[in-house]
Structures are given as C-alpha cells and as structure tokens.
Structure 1
Amino acid sequence: MTLTARHAVRGLLDATLTDLGSAWSWEAVHRVRPRVDLACPECAHRVHAKVSPRGTRYFAHDPGGPNCVMAGESLEHHLLKLELATAIRAAGHQAQLEVRGPGGHWRVDVLSSSPDGAIQMAWEAQLSAITLQEIDERTQRLAADGVGVCWVSTRPRPWHGAVPSIVVTPPPTDDPDWQVAAGPAFFEIEECYVHEKPWQCPLGEHGFWHRLDITLPALVRQVLEGTMVVHQPTEQVLLSDGSWSQVWTSPHHIAVAARFGIAEREGQQRQARESLEWHARKWPDANRVLVQEWQENLPEDAWQALHSAVAQWIRTETGKAPSFRHQWIAWNWACGVPVCVDGRPYGVIHPDPSKVDWRFLTRMVIFVPSDTDRQALLRSAPEGTRVVAFLP
C-alpha cells in the first residue's frame, strides 16, 4: 500500500489531501468504472484506490507486482506518515509524501517545506529494523542536500539519540493526538539534595535534563517554527528507553544548560582551588603548585627584568646586595619571591593579591611589575605599606 499514486495526466496524487494535490476528488478515483489507470511512484506497478476499515485512504498494489518497498509498508506505517503530514500542514508548511531527492540519492516518507520553499525537512517513519550505520549514512545523505531529518519510531531502537529522533505512541481512546514518548527534553536546575553539607556542593544546586511531555503535532509545529531544535548535551541524557546523546529542546533550555555548565565548572574549579589553598596553608609542598601557576603568568623575560630592577633598587636604597629565595614557598609569601638583605626578609616580588595576608608581610617592601598590580595591592594594604612598581 502507498499514500501516493501517479496518473499520466494529473501527475502525483496524494491520498492525504482533499483534492489529491491535483484538483481532483477521491470519488473520481475510488470505485469508479472504468477504473482510473494509476501507478506506484516507486515500482510503476498498477495500483487502485482503497479505504481501510478505519477510514484511511490509500492506494493498493494490484496482484502480481514486483517486490516493492511501498507495497510492504504496514498500515501503522501509513497511519504515522498520515499523522506527520497532517501535523506539518497544520503548522502552515507544505507536506509531500514519499518523495525522492535529486538524482534518487534518497527517498523520504514525508518532506516538509516552509511556505517560501526555502527550508525543507524530512520526517521518516522508521518502524522496520535498521542499523546505526545505515541510519547515519541516510542522515548524512540528506544533510548533503541541505535537508534536516527527524527519525520517528513507535518502539525503542538502538539508534535512538544517535541521530535526530523521537519515539511516538498512538493516541489513547480519549485523545486525538499521538504522543511523544521520548526524544524532546528540557533542562531544569534543582536545589542540591545529594550532599549533606552545603560546602560539599560548589553551587548548592544541580542541573538535569528531563523528558518533555508533548504531543506529536505540538512537537512538529515547534520544530518547524524553530522553537525546538536538535541539541547534543555535554553528557548523555537518560530518557525512558535509555541514554540519548541528542535530544530535541528549545534554544532557551540550551542557553540555560550552557550557563549552568559554565557556573558549575567555575564552582568546581573554585572548590578545587580552595581545597588546594587549605592544604597549602598547612604543608608548603602543597603550595608549590600554586606558586608555580602564579609565577608562570609572568613571562620569563619579564621576571628577569623585574629581578634586575629590584636588585638595583635595593642596592640604591640600602647599599647592599639582595638575595632572592626562590626555594621559600610557604603560604605567607603569597606565591611571590622573597628577597633578603643581610640574610633577613626585606620584601616580596610579585605576590598574588588574592593570597596576601598582610599580617605576614608587615614592614615588607612589595615589588610588582606594573602600576595596575600596585593599585590592586594598595586597595587592601595597611597604611604606610611600600609597594614599588617597575615595569610599564
């Protein structure tokens, strides 16, 4: 059975349209004598108009035809294609059934086209078995011609979420619409209930992707309007039939998830940094990592120039030669390089303003590369602290 048939004069007939897509009525082809000469668009074998017990109009192959893919399609397959076409048209787009692409490289169950014809999208009712490689190759062939796709099935499949796809269920007796059981999702931020103590959770909240309850017509409309798009989250999304790497969601939820992801990573980094700093206060070796990271922010040639400038400044100021103690990495030096005169601490070169504890640097001279660094330190420094900037 097929939902389309070809007529020698009127062209392609679509059983889902009132006028068959060619200004012709169904009564003109159904149960008329003499019989209208119609052919299958796929195999060219003769077909005739029929109506199923449920009232679905279609074209059936005459006996003795070839092994045609359309002849083997089930009633469920055709009902789903009909539902997709109906939803597409209700959204204000054109829907063509059983369409072949340029050069015959692909054929789709339903092809939607925007009112101006600029945007096309394939809707594939994939009810038979297919491998992930096959479905991925078909997706790529469509993409090469600028055609997006949504693969639609009625039961769980191994390829779900690996390609743009959804799972649908027929409508219950009290609801006229097909339901989407899996595929669309929304992102929600929830208060942390995992950790007993607030400090154990960087943000105090967690973000999760959840399954979105929606009807098939509503999903089709939102996809065609661009308010729902296919998205690949940073982590697998657990839906009703397994983990999905791609889901359908709104640009708003994509943006919310992205902002939360940034905040979560920053919170984790901050938590790791605070843990490292806590250990660094107690064990100098743990502080070595912080010292190295901070000092690597200043280029090697800048460090050399700064050391030379500090040495000259101290000789002018004290008449004595300073010594630089790079091996001193205790927390109280705030990741800077201690400078000694006559074996006693005299100052610190380029400390990290965020780690300075002025209780340990009282009466020390602070040497920094620029006036920007100088101003950053003076904002928290005790009155009378000497902060000397050398480089422009």
Structure 2
Amino acid sequence: MYAHVTARPDFCGWLRDPERTSCEYFTAHRVGEVGGYVLTLTARHAVRGLLDATLTDLGSAWSWEAVHRVRPRVDLACPECAHRVHAKVSPRGTRYFAHDPGGPNCVMAGESLEHHLLKLELATAIRAAGHQAQLEVRGPGGHWRVDVLSSSPDGAIQMAWEAQLSAITLQEIDERTQRLAADGVGVCWVSTRPRPWHGAVPSIVVTPPPTDDPDWQVAAGPAFFEIEECYVHEKPWQCPLGEHGFWHRLDITLPALVRQVLEGTMVVHQPTEQVLLSDGSWSQVWTSPHHIAVAARFGIAEREGQQRQARESLEWHARKWPDANRVLVQEWQENLPEDAWQALHSAVAQWIRTETGKAPSFRHQWIAWNWACGVPVCVDGRPYGVIHPDPSKVDWRFLTRMVIFVPSDTDRQALLRSAPEGTRVVAFLP
C-alpha cells in the first residue's frame, strides 16, 4: 500500500539557497507552524482512512488534487486532536495539512518545521530502501506514538524512527523505548544536535545536507572497529599483543544508514566498555555484525594476552620470591578436588611402599620452582618423586631421575610429550 513514489516537497530548497543557512530556515517560522498554521503531514478521512501528504497517491489511491482547493471542501481531520484540517501547499511546494482556526491545543503544535522535515527525510529513506513508512502512528491502545514507523515488505518487522528534537530526560526516553520493545518494535532516536541521552538508547545525530549534497549526513552514532599496531609501549614485551583495537566514528549518509539498518547489515551494539568516539562517549553504537565479531575476537585475544602477561610476570617473580611461588602452587593444586588429592596421596604411598619397601614422606612445605607446582615425595629424607606437577612449568633439568605421579592418563601423556627418554610417569586415577 505504501510502496509508491514519495512526493518529496522541496524542503531542502531552503537549505541549498545561498541566501539562507539551515539555522535561518528552521527559525523562520513559529514552532509547529507554517504561515501561522499548525501543520501535520497526515490527515484522516472518514472513508479513505489515513492520508499521507508525502506519498504521491496519499497512501489511499487518491491524488493530491482530490483534496487540495476543491469545492465543496473535503472533510479531513487531524489524527491527533480530530480538529478539521485542510490541504495546503507552501510557496516552495511543501504539501501538508493545516489546522482550521480555533482548534484545540494539538500535540502537533509542539513540532517544529525542522521536526517535520526530518520526519519526511526518514520516511523517504525508508521507502527508498524498499520498506513501508507510515507517519505519525499510534500503537495498540494508544500507549505509544512514533513519528515514522517502518515495516518490512511482509509486515513482519517494524521499527520506529523518532525525530527527538525537544528536551527529554534519560528516564523518559528509556521508558518510551521499553514501551516500544514490549510490542516488538525497535527504535532509533534521531536528533540534530548532541543530547545527554545519546548512546544510552539506540540513537544517532544527523545534520542537514550541505549545498552540494542532497542527503542528510549522520554525524554521530555509527561506528566501526579497527585494529592498529601498538604505538603506546616502548618495549615490545610491555604490550600483550603488539596491537590495539579501537572504535571509530563511521561517516555515512542518513539514507545509507537507514537502508543498512533495515537490511540487518547494521545493528545496535552495546560493547562491554564505553566507546570513546570523537563526539563523546557512547554505551551503544550502530555497527555491522562483522565489526562486532572482530571486536569480540580481539577482546578475547586481548584478555588472554593480558592473562598470559600477568602469568609470565608472576612466574618470573616466583623464581625469586617464595610468596609469589606459593600463589602459583595454590592455584594449580586447587584445580584438583580435595578428595582426588587424598586418593592420589594414598595411591602414591602404597606404590612407593611396594616399590621400595619403605614409607614415603610428603613435603607440602617445600615450595620451590624446581617442583613445577607439584608436591615433592621423599624416601629416607631424599627427593624421590613429584606428585601432579604442572606440565607447562616442568623444567626437566630439575626433575631428572624423579618419578612423576599424576592423577590420570591424560596428564601422563601431556608430560611424556616433553619428558626425556626413560622418565617414569605413573598414572593412578582414570
């Protein structure tokens, strides 16, 4: 029903006029009025339903000429306040519906001409992307109202595009976002200047087109992730990966962003940390699934690198200071449950008595790098073997001729891959 050519009034003609700036254009009229009229882009007809001035056929298979300057006058009403409206065209070709004099205090009076222009641009971009666009739509039960509602060709996916130019608190905008989400409707909040709530909800900042470009530009909100070579650390060993990942602001036009969002190639993303862009800090950004995946992989690699770097530092200190070594030993031995340790000690003691005819002694208090976080076992006061050493920390120069006792065959195989030929590794538990 809405897949028609948009009748895009020449709002932008003002912006391209070298005699005027966009600021002058938006302040040339009283708020919500053109020539003293409270305007709206939609009107309701008793038979045709909702008429949309931005569509060539008004969205109802009806021409503009059927409602503009006809006698007798077509009976049209404002969708918001139900007061009578009539079709008008501005000197620059802007099609709209104006309230008759003496109307009630309509909510449309609170929308500036800039607001209407932005709604038109959003609707135009949505329709250019092959989706339906309805203006000034109320939700079920009337508990929400949106400037522009986009619908996929099959009607299965709906998304609200809100031109939020007036002041609003973070709590209010979050509540409105949640009400839409409760009905399965996503949202993108659009403004023309930075606001305190930017990034806290799915949002973008747009600017009117320059004189040589017909499209509005997205000044903030979209981002891409890029990995760069480290230039922060002087020493290579100081940087875990030798590179860093950063989010950067993405330059894109409003029609291109709308198309990518509707196609699903750009989605709202909430990174684990605040994203610092050139225009401020954002907790949510619009980006592609590809960049989300790249950032996620880099985050995992970075955390692993930091853990590896911390571990290497601890191991370096462990060679010199007993306290650091004690931390390593405790962390490794806690990987094996207490009951498994007890069973392993009993099995080792029985094995050594059978092998040597003597009772072993376990030296838990011996905490040294030599034992690779394992527990030394002595016979006649001399080192005989080690229980459950960490394969990643074994230095076979210190464990030569020692019997290695491990809880499973998996541990045995892990040690034998690096053990010198002839090393005895005994596994006890399945």
TM-score by length of 1: 0.98
After superposition, what is the alpha-carbon deviation per residue over 1:68-106, rounded to whole angstroms, capped at 9, x for unaligned? Answer: 111331111111000000100011100000001011011
Aligned to 2:117: 79
Contact 1:61 1:71 in 2 (8 A): no
Query: By how many angstroms is 1:41 displaced?
Result: 0.4
Query: By how many angstroms is 1:146 displaced?
Result: 0.5
DSSP 3-state at the match of 2:245: strand
Query: By how many angstroms is 1:239 displaced?
Result: 2.7
After superposition, what is the alpha-carbon deviation per residue over 1:170-223, rounded to whole angstroms, capped at 9, x for unaligned? Answer: 000100000000011111111111101111000011111111110000000000
Query: By how many angstroms is 1:386 displaced?
Result: 1.3
Inter-CA distance 55–138: structure 2 relative to 1 (3 Å threshold): same
Q: 2: CA distance between counterparts of 1:371 and 1:21?
A: 74
Q: 2: CA distance between counterparts of 1:177 and 1:220?
A: 12
Query: By how many angstroms is 1:169 displaced?
Result: 0.3
After superposition, what is the alpha-carbon deviation per residue over 1:39-92, rounded to whole angstroms, capped at 9, x for unaligned? Answer: 100001111212234422111112211111113311111110000001000111
DSSP 3-state at the match of 1:282: coil
Query: By how many angstroms is 1:142 displaced?
Result: 0.5
Inter-CA distance 239–56: structure 2 relative to 1 (3 Å threshold): farther
After superposition, what is the alpha-carbon deviation per residue over 1:277-327, rounded to whole angstroms, capped at 9, x for unaligned? Answer: 000011122111110111111111111111111111111111111110001
TM-score by length of 2: 0.90
* Residue from 337, 359, 370 that aligns with 1:332: 370
Q: 1: CA distance between counterparts of 2:400 and 2:380?
A: 18
After superposition, what is the alpha-carbon deviation per residue over 1:122-144, rounded to whole angstroms, capped at 9, x for unaligned? Answer: 00001111111111111111011
Query: By how many angstroms is 1:10 displaced?
Result: 1.7
Q: 2: CA distance between counterparts of 1:134 and 1:171?
A: 30
Query: By how many angstroms is 1:391 displaced?
Result: 1.4
Query: By how many angstroms is 1:154 displaced?
Result: 0.4
Query: By how many angstroms is 1:35 displaced?
Result: 2.5
Aligned to 1:142: 180
Matched, 1:261 2:285: no
After superposition, what is the alpha-carbon deviation per residue over 1:222-252, rounded to whole angstroms, capped at 9, x for unaligned? Answer: 0000111111011111234321101111111
Q: 2: CA distance between counterparts of 1:119 and 1:152?
A: 20
- Of 236-245 and 299-308, deviating more is 236-245
After superposition, what is the alpha-carbon deviation per residue over 1:361-381, rounded to whole angstroms, capped at 9, x for unaligned? Answer: 111111111222112111111
After superposition, what is the alpha-carbon deviation per residue over 1:334-377, rounded to whole angstroms, capped at 9, x for unaligned? Answer: 00000111111111011011100011111111111122211211
* Residue from 182, 185, 193 that aligns with 2:223: 185
Contact 1:121 1:148 in 2 (8 A): yes
DSSP 3-state at the match of 2:108: coil
- Of 45-54 and 364-373, deviating more is 45-54
After superposition, what is the alpha-carbon deviation per residue over 1:93-120, rounded to whole angstroms, capped at 9, x for unaligned? Answer: 0000000101101110000011111110
Q: 1: CA distance between counterparts of 2:96 and 2:161?
A: 19
Q: 2: CA distance between counterparts of 1:267 and 1:240?
A: 28
Q: 1: CA distance between counterparts of 2:40 and 2:241?
A: 56
Inter-CA distance 265–54: structure 2 relative to 1 (3 Å threshold): farther
After superposition, what is the alpha-carbon deviation per residue over 1:11-32, rounded to whole angstroms, capped at 9, x for unaligned? Answer: 2110000011111111222233
DSSP 3-state at the match of 1:150: strand
Contact 1:60 1:71 in 2 (8 A): no
Q: 2: CA distance between counterparts of 1:246 and 1:162?
A: 6
* Residue from 225, 229, 240 that aligns with 2:263: 225
Q: 1: CA distance between counterparts of 2:282 and 2:410?
A: 49
Q: 2: CA distance between counterparts of 1:53 and 1:218?
A: 30
Matched length: 392
- Of 168-177 and 360-369, deviating more is 360-369
Aligned to 1:273: 311
Aligned to 2:189: 151
Q: 1: CA distance between counterparts of 2:65 and 2:310?
A: 74
Higher RCO, 1 vs 2 (CA within 8 Å, ≥6 residues apart):
2
Q: 2: CA distance between counterparts of 1:101 and 1:230?
A: 23
Q: 2: CA distance between counterparts of 1:214 and 1:77?
A: 21
Contact 1:231 1:248 in 2 (8 A): yes
Q: 1: CA distance between counterparts of 2:156 and 2:390?
A: 57
Matched, 1:313 2:322: no
Segments of 5+ residues of structure 2 without an aligned counterpart are 1-38
* Pairs within 5 Å for 1:112-123: 112-123=150-161
DSSP 3-state at the match of 2:127: helix
Q: 2: CA distance between counterparts of 1:51 and 1:169?
A: 25
Matched, 1:364 2:364: no
Q: 2: CA distance between counterparts of 1:301 and 1:238?
A: 49
After superposition, what is the alpha-carbon deviation per residue over 1:259-278, rounded to whole angstroms, capped at 9, x for unaligned? Answer: 11000000000000000000
Contact 1:284 1:329 in 2 (8 A): yes
Q: 2: CA distance between counterparts of 1:336 and 1:388?
A: 14
What is the RMSD computed on CA atoms of the aligned residues? Answer: 1.0
Overall identity of the aligned pairs, in %? 100
DSSP 3-state at the match of 1:317: helix
Aligned to 2:328: 290
Contact 1:15 1:58 in 2 (8 A): yes
DSSP 3-state at the match of 1:70: helix
DSSP 3-state at the match of 2:237: helix
